[in-house]
Amino acid sequence: MADGQKYEAVIGLEIHAQLATESKLFCGDATSFGAEPNSHISPITLGHPGTLPKTNKKAVEYAIKMGIACESAIEKNNYFARKNYFYPDLPKGYQISQHTTPICVGGKVAIQVNGQSSFVQLNRIHLEEDAGKSIHDISPTDTCVDLNRAGTPLIEIVTEPCLHSAEEAFQYVTEVRKMVRWLGVCDGNMEEGSLRCDANISVRPTGSTTLGTKVEVKNLNSIRNIKKAIEFEIERLIGLVEAGETIIQQTRSFDANNDTTFAIRDKEDANDYRYFPDPDLAPFQLTDNYIHTIKETIPALPNQLKQEWKTSLGLSDYDVEQLTENKEEADFYGKWIASTKHYKAAVNWILGPIREYLNETGKTYPTLYESIPQLNELLELVETNQLSFSNATGKVFKGIIGTNKKAIQFAEEHQLVQNNSTDQISLWVEQVLAANPDKVQEYKKGKKGLIGLFVGEVKKISKGQADPKMTTQLLEQKLAQ
Ligand code: ADP
Ligand code: MG
């Protein structure tokens, strides 16, 4: 950014995460995605007169889980308010939301940008219900409305205006998505709208401590788009300031076709939503004991595991980063290392052949738990040079997984056990050297790279049974004579 020195961007993000509950926030209607339009809409969802909402405890629990994981303070005295506005996809004419008492206050999320760690400060996390969906691309003349989503529980995670680049925003949203998935409170699926982000952006002269006028880019539905929208807005706002124009507070939308944004409306200063406590929902109190019980159910978080595995197992930053991308994988690794000491070798197996196997077969980690003894046998056979890593992963692993065969049995049946006998390997080495007199001459004249070719030939005639380390050693000895 050309004017990066002169201006500082300030960004605050609002993330809406759909909670992974079976039913809606205030009634039993299903929350499942992709159902027949308007099939999950009881009179409560539609707000018919005489209906009574009832709070879904699971949603409250999930919001608290996220708050505890982000080290927020949990608000014990809560109530829901009505936020009144008219919109076709809002059947009741108001949205039920938390107003002055968000369930989680403050908190932080750790991010890494270019190897530097920092925290993104949260303002709050509050509970609210989602609206329905207006669909403009089915009919050329009409807008269709699907109210299935109306009433689905959301948490809105709001940061302080404390981010300063598109890259930081990108890392933050990536981290939040990972966290909600890790906790199991939201599926994090941005394509289906389970996680959506509004980005608030302003610019100010570097060094200034007052905030500039912000614009808000609504409903960003991929992490890539969040980054692109922010990059575009920062440039655009700086352009306006440089041209001496006044920035007006606006709501904008992102156009993914050309990575630009366009204005949807100028924001009137104070929207009057006429908030008032929902008279149909009693305020609810949380006890310390209840909050503590929820805390107990929170699994070790990625950052804790990273630290632990680095210090106690000696894994690298890269390895722990990879292993904690996905909770099922981290859980599997955690379970596996309870029965092996080959910590680093187990990582290599996971990042390579195991991931590949799961990808190819569409299977998941839980199906591999019962194969841990076989994996341990494979690790042992490779460590003791009885099997080459490539035969172990490429042939034996694939041959025995899902069966109750022993690795060694399969390897023997398929002549894959490595030959460590010096006599046998020497014979193969002699044979290869005798068959390639020209290459031997070239090697002796200094073309040392040919060693690879000889090793390859020994591998070929031994059908992969010659231990490559020993082969190389013996070849070097013979060729030096
Ligand atoms: P609104 O009521 O318009 O939604 P809030 O004050 O609740 O505004 O803030 C919404 C989000 O916008 C928060 O994430 C906040 O950090 C961010 N924000 C507020 N003011 C600014 C600003 N001047 N520049 C960038 N982000 C801002
Ligand atoms: Mg807002």
The tens digit of pLDDT for each residue in 242-276 reads 999 999 999 999 999 999 999 998 876 567 899 99
Q: What whole-number distance in Å separates Cα of residue 454 and Cα of residue 433?
A: 8
Q: Is the CB of 442 under 6 A from ligand 1?
A: no
Q: Using CA positions, which residue lies closest to atom 22 of ligand 1? A: 214
- pLDDT for position 327: 96
Tokens 């004017």 identify what position? 3
Q: Is the CB of 83 under 6 A from ligand 1?
A: no
- pLDDT for position 3: 44
Q: Is residue 1 part of a domain?
A: no
From the CA of 292, how far away is ligand 1's center (Å)? 32
The answer to whether residues 103 and 152 belong to one domain is: yes
The answer to whether residues 285 and 329 belong to one domain is: no
Q: Is residue 247 part of a domain?
A: yes
From the CA of 394, how far away is ligand 2's center (Å)? 52
Q: Is the CB of 159 under 6 A from ligand 1?
A: yes
Q: Using CA positions, which residue lies closest to atom 17 of ligand 1? A: 12
Token reading at 480:
């030096």
Q: Counting ligands in written order, which one lies closest to the CA of residue 160?
A: 1
Contacts 24+ apart (CB under 8 A), 84-89: 84/273, 84/274, 84/275, 85/271, 85/273, 87/131, 88/134, 88/143, 88/145, 89/131, 89/132, 89/133, 89/134, 89/145, 89/147, 89/150
Three-state DSSP class for residue 196: strand
Boundary residue ending a domain (241, 269, 289): 289
The answer to whether residues 146 and 95 belong to one domain is: yes
- Angle of helix 166-183 versus helix 302-313 axis, rounded to 10: 90
Q: Is the CB of 459 under 6 A from ligand 1?
A: no
From the CA of 162, give the closest atom in ligand 1. Answer: 16
DSSP 8-class letter at 394: I
From the CA of 238, how far away is ligand 2's center (Å)? 22
The answer to whether residues 252 and 213 belong to one domain is: yes
Is there a contact between 99 and 62 (Cβ–Cβ < 8 Å)? no
Length of the chain: 481
CATH of the domain at 469: 1.10.10.410
The answer to whether residues 46 and 182 belong to one domain is: yes
Which one of 95, 198, 200 would you pick to mutate in the ligand 1 pocket, going by the greatest count of ligand atoms within 8 A of its CB? Answer: 200
- pLDDT for position 1: 45
The answer to whether residues 353 and 463 belong to one domain is: no
The answer to whether residues 157 and 245 belong to one domain is: yes
Q: Using CA positions, which residue lies closest to atom 9 of ligand 1? A: 12
From the CA of 12, how far away is ligand 1's center (Å)? 6
The answer to whether residues 224 and 166 belong to one domain is: yes
Q: Is the CB of 12 under 6 A from ligand 1?
A: yes
From the CA of 9, how far away is ligand 1's center (Å)? 13
Residuewise pLDDT in 10s, the chain (481 residues):
444 489 999 999 999 999 999 999 999 999 998 899 999 999 999 999 999 999 999 999 999 999 999 999 999 999 999 999 999 999 999 999 999 999 999 999 999 999 899 999 999 999 999 999 999 999 999 999 999 999 999 999 999 999 999 999 999 999 999 999 999 999 999 999 999 999 999 999 999 999 999 999 998 999 999 999 999 999 999 999 999 999 999 999 999 999 999 999 887 656 789 999 999 999 999 999 999 999 999 999 999 999 999 999 999 999 999 999 999 999 999 999 999 999 999 999 999 999 999 999 999 999 999 999 999 999 999 998 888 898 999 999 999 998 989 999 999 998 888 776 777 888 899 999 999 999 999 999 999 999 999 999 999 988 888 888 889 999 999 998 7
From the CA of 17, how far away is ligand 2's center (Å)? 15
Q: What whole-number distance in Å separates Cα of residue 49 and Cα of residue 51?
A: 6
The answer to whether residues 156 and 245 belong to one domain is: yes
- pLDDT for position 268: 64
From the CA of 124, how far away is ligand 2's center (Å)? 13
Q: What whole-number distance in Å separates Cα of residue 84 and Cα of residue 273?
A: 5
Q: Counting ligands in written order, which one lies closest to the CA of residue 215?
A: 1
Q: Is residue 431 part of a domain?
A: yes
The answer to whether residues 31 and 71 belong to one domain is: yes
From the CA of 161, give the closest atom in ligand 1. Answer: 16
Q: Is residue 186 part of a domain?
A: yes
Q: Is residue 376 part of a domain?
A: yes
From the CA of 158, give the closest atom in ligand 1. Answer: 14
From the CA of 134, how far away is ligand 2's center (Å)? 20
Q: Which domain holds residue 426?
A: 422-479
- Angle of helix 468-480 versus helix 422-435 axis, rounded to 10: 60
Q: Is the CB of 8 under 6 A from ligand 1?
A: no
Least Cα distance to 68 among 298, 327, 305 occurs for 298
From the CA of 251, how far away is ligand 2's center (Å)? 9
Boundary residue ending a domain (289, 323, 355): 289
Q: Using CA positions, which residue lies closest to atom 3 of ligand 1? A: 216
List Cβ neighbours of 418 (8 Å cut-off, separation of 6 or more). 385, 386, 387, 388, 391, 465, 466, 467
From the CA of 200, how far away is ligand 2's center (Å)? 8
Q: What whole-number distance in Å separates Cα of residue 330 and Cα of residue 161?
A: 33
From the CA of 61, how far away is ligand 2's center (Å)? 24
Q: Is the CB of 102 under 6 A from ligand 1?
A: no
Which one of 108, 203, 214 would you pick to mutate in the ligand 1 pocket, going by the greatest count of ligand atoms within 8 A of its CB? Answer: 214
Entry pTM: 0.85
Q: Counting ligands in written order, which one lies closest to the CA of residue 12?
A: 1
The answer to whether residues 323 and 213 belong to one domain is: no
From the CA of 381, how far away is ligand 2's center (Å)? 59
Boundary residue ending a domain (289, 321, 339): 289
- Per 3-state DSSP, the chain is made up of helix, strand and coil in percentages (nearest 5) of 40, 20, 40
- pLDDT for position 31: 96
Q: How many domains does the chain have?
A: 3
Q: Is residue 137 part of a domain?
A: yes
Q: Is residue 2 part of a domain?
A: no
Q: Is residue 294 part of a domain?
A: no
Residue 108: count other Cβ atoms within 10 Å of its Cβ.
16
The answer to whether residues 232 and 308 belong to one domain is: no
